[in-house]
Structure formats: C-alpha cells, structure tokens
Chain A
Amino acid sequence: MSEQSNGANKPEFWRWQENVWADESRDWRAAKAITVGIDVGSVSSQCVIVADGELYAYNSMRTGNNSPDSAKNAFKGVTEKTGLTLNDVHMVVGTGYGRVNVPFSHKAITEIACHARGANYMGGNGVRTILDMGGQDCKAIHCDEKGKVTNFLMNDKCAAGTGRGMEVISDLMQIPIAELGPRSFDVDVEPEAVSSVCVVFAKSEALGLLKAGYTKNKVIAAYCQAMAERVVSLLERIGVEEGFFITGGIAKNPGVVKRIEKLLGIQAMNTKIDSQIAGALGAALFANTLVTKQGALAPIAF
C-alpha cells in the first residue's frame, strides 16, 4: 500500500471538474413555478433549478467539509449565473447523503427516488434500470414508466464499486481520473479483472501487477474490468432491463461504462445533460409536483 494523500501540496488526481450551466434561451422571470433540488453527496454537490417543470440551470461542485455550506454554495453558484434569488423560488427539496443538512430545504427525499425521477426526465419514460455510482456508494434502481422506484439496492458499506474506489486507483497511478477511462482501452490485450473485490486488497494487487510488468494502462484496464464486474453483480440482484441509464460521476468514465455494457449486453442510454445532476434534478422535479399540488412555500432564509 502507498502512503496517505493528506499532503496539501500533492496534486489531486481524482478531482472532477466543477461546472455551472443555464438555459440561455429561456428567462426564469417568465416561469410560473421555480423549484430547486439540492443533492449534497459525499464527494460532489449539485443544485438544479427547474422552471415550470423543465430543467433550467444547474451547478455541480465538490462537496466541502460541511454539508450546509456545500448546499448554500451550490445554490449561490446558480444565482450568480442567473440572477435568481431564494425569494424567487417556490420550493426547495434536498436529497443525497447530506439531504437533512440542506438548511433552506422544505423537504428531504431519498436519493433513490430522486435519481429515478431525474433519470426518467433525462432518458425518457423508457428508462427501467438505473445505475448510480456515487462517490461513496453505488445504487442499482429499477423503475416504472413514471420514474417510480420498483426495486432498489444501495451499497454504501464497501468502497468497491464506488467513485472512491476509482479515486484510489487514480491516486495510486498518479493519473487524473478523467484519463483513466481512455487509457484503459490503450492496451495490447484486455487483461483479466483484478481478483480482489476489496479496494485495499485490489490496491496491493494493482501494485503487484505493475511489479510483474503490466503497463499502467493495463493495470487500469484490469481495475476497470473489476469495477464493471462488481457493479454488474449488484445490478443483477434487482434485475436488468432495456432502458439502462447511468448516473453519477462514473457515467463519465468510459473505461467502466463500456465494460458494463459489454457484460450486460445492453447499451447505456445517451443523454445530452450531465448525468451527475440526476439526483438534484429529480429533487427539483419532486418539488415542482409538490408546488402544483400544494402551492408554493415561503423561502427559508440562510
């Protein structure tokens, strides 16, 4: 095993890019209902604005040490982009690992329900199987045509099959996380998967493979394959159906995604929208439904 990565000056190979987006073709001022979904995950936090039931803007950023601050900062990022303030919002729903720590939310909904709802919006009502690989957990969800969850499991006990597991290999190889996927295909022959499920043991195994003469890319390929096998075994428990949608950070890693597709024999659906926002988007859509049913709620200042 290698040394800890606590050093402040050490490059952080595992960092995802942060970004803010708004639909420039619309003006939120014209919308009747504006709702906000906040997803405070263990690694990244998202804020999504839905105007009249349609995605309007989002901000995706790294979660800080403190959940309430991460929620506020995620929201501030969108306000800076759009000029919208909390007073213009009709309802806020929090989700994710830190959902109870969103100080200005009116309701908390589990990330399972939110991801299903968000995926249903992004992928359409044909979405049935959803895989969400978050920073510290992995969720497998089966839903109906309305985006309602029919079967799910969440593994947050073990780092294998989570974004954290990917970060560990990125750090070990000293290769930025975004390069892992492309590099995993740059190999002479596709290697066998790393045999250890446990990330700690897989790490020693990866070091052993390097010592045995594997190139870094080949080790990454073996690791991505192990990750894919692991995730597929979770998906099989809830039953895989066509209409396969991947959300969360790992959707950006083709090294894992392509291998999952190969194992399942099913292509993942494409989306133009950043799949990392699925949870927050689902939360904002739930909020929109609530506004339609019960009317707007007064903002909770922070």
Chain B
Amino acid sequence: MYTAGIDMGSRTVKVVIIDNDAAGAPSVKKTHLMFPGDVDGDAAADKAYDDALAAAGLRRDEVRAVFATGAGRKTVNFATDSVTEMSAGAKGVSYFFPSARTIVDVGAEEGRGVKTDGNGKAIDFAGNEKCAAGAGSFAEAMSRALQMTLTEFGEASLRSDKSIPMNAQCTVFAESEVVSLIHSATPKEDIAKAVLDAVASRVCAMVRRVGIDKDVVLIGGMVHNPGFVQALKSSMDVDEVKLPEIPEFVSALGCALLAAEARQ
C-alpha cells in the first residue's frame, strides 16, 4: 500500500510517498520538493504531487491515502485528511529517532518546540508563528544584508568565536543593526554568529516552555545551517542535536505514516 504526505509550508511544498509493504518497515518511495514561486496555492499542491507521482512511477489511484500538513494544509483539496505540523513532525521524527523526546522545528517563517512521548505522538508544544524574529527568515534577511547566501552565512559563523549581543529583537530593526555593524567594520563571521546566536536563543527560550528532554532533534530548513545547529547546541546546553537525513521532508513523511495508520 502506498500513502503520501504533503507539507504545504510558507515557501515550499514537500511531498513524500511511502511504500508500506516494504519488508520490515514502511520505506520512503519518493520525496519531492518544490518552490512554488508564482504558482498559486491550490495549483502548487497539485503540481508538486503530480511531479512526485511521476517520479515514483505511480498514478493517483494507486495511492490509498494522502494527508496534508503545514500552514497551507487546508488548500490541498485532494488530501484525504489534514494533521497539525506538531503531529506530523513528531510522527516523522519517530521514524528516524525513536529516542527523540524534544523536537525543535525551525522553518522559514516559524519556529516551535514539540515534546513527544516516544511513540511519535506530540504531547505538548510551544511555538511562534506570528513573529519572524524566531525563525529562519530572520537569519535569511541578515545574510542578505551581508550579501551572503544562508549557507555561506552559516559557514562563516563557524569561523567566529566572538559573541556580540544583538540589541534588536525585530527582524526589521535588526537589519539596520547589522548594517551599522558592517559600517563599523565588524568581521562578517562575527556578525553571522551574532545573528544565529540570537535566533538560537529565541528558539531555545521557546523550547524551554515545553522542557528540554533528550534526545533533541532538529527539523526544518535550518538543519542545513551548521552555524545554527552549533548555536542551538550551546544555547540549549546539550551535547548533541540529532539531525534527520531528510530534514525538510520529516513532516511530509509523518503525514504519509499517519495516513498509512489510518488505513490499517
């Protein structure tokens, strides 16, 4: 039996199709990531899903159930059901790390902490979806001010051992602060570290509301930013932050797994 999960994020659409009959455990058949750009919400979900199906060599009627999650989950009109980002993330993480108890999810426009019971079920969460300061877009805006890509930005931050505090909390104000740091000839790597430390400390404060239990797993787009991972580790005061292999797809995978469970 094939099931699929679709994660309609603020910037990207993620699709995962899984084969639930594979020997032992469900296995990932196909993942597909799309940046919708100019495509409208509804059309984007359709296109991403069809592209994933084509790549997997499947037809729509061969997939038994499709669950959707993410900010735009309601716009996925062909989904059988929709689940919250917390449930999807917790389920997806348990596939890779059954030992996970705290999930930190930092995407482009939101950051959240989820406490999970070890069976892939979310039991508590704290999040901030309404302010850009605690999410990836904060770092993205600052990297742009430094004329670096987010990846370069993260790598640069690893070369710094300074801790410059950022006064501004707001992304908009922080842009001016970064510009003035550039004017005062502060090395780019120190600015990058200051920015990622600031995001990490905000994310960390949020996660503390649900409590930090081991193991800690980070999901979402910021997984690709080693500077952020480092900043998060020191901010949370943990030795290790586990990173799944396909960080962007964890929630979509969780959806596909939940869809399979619902059909069994």
Contacts and interface: CB of A to CB of B under 8 A. Distances in A.
Interface of A: 1, 3-4, 6, 65, 136, 157-159, 164-165, 168, 196-201, 204, 211
A168 B179 CA distance: 16
Nearest to A137: B173
Contacts of A165: 172
Nearest to A2: B144
B38 A6 contact: no
B204 interface: no
14 contacts: A3-B144, A6-B145, A136-B173, A158-B131, A159-B170, A168-B172, A197-B131, A198-B132, A198-B171, A199-B132, A199-B172, A200-B141, A201-B109, A201-B132
Given A201-B109, A211-B38, A159 B145 contact: no
Given A6-B179, A157-B170, 16 more contacts: A1-B141, A6-B145, A65-B180, A65-B183, A158-B131, A158-B170, A159-B171, A159-B172, A164-B172, A165-B172, A198-B131, A199-B171, A200-B137, A201-B109, A201-B132, A204-B10
Contacts of B145: 4, 6
B7 interface: no
Main secondary structure, interface of A, reads loop
Contact of A4 (B38, B132, B144): B144
Contacts of B131: 158, 197-198
Contacts of B141: 1, 200
Contacts of B144: 3-4
Contacts of A65: 180, 183
Contacts of A200: 132, 137, 141, 171-172
B175 interface: yes
A230 to B, nearest CB: 12
Contacts of B169: 157-158
B130 interface: yes
Interface string B187-199: 0000000000000
B191 to A, nearest CB: 14
B21 to A, nearest CB: 41
B146 to A, nearest CB: 10
Contacts of B130: 196-198, 201
A164 B145 CA distance: 17
B173 to A, nearest CB: 6
Contacts of A1: 137, 140-141
A211 B140 CA distance: 23
A196 B141 CA distance: 18
Q: Output the residue of B144, B173, B175, B180 with the most chain A CB within 10 A.
A: B173
Contacts of A159: 170-173
B102 to A, nearest CB: 26
Q: Counting chain A CB atoms within 10 Å of each CB, which of B38, B131, B183 scores highest?
A: B131
A165 B171 CA distance: 11
A199 B172 CA distance: 7
A197 B137 CA distance: 15
B83 to A, nearest CB: 23
- The CB with the most chain B CB atoms within 10 A, among A3, A196, A197, is that of A196
Interface in B1-56: 10, 38
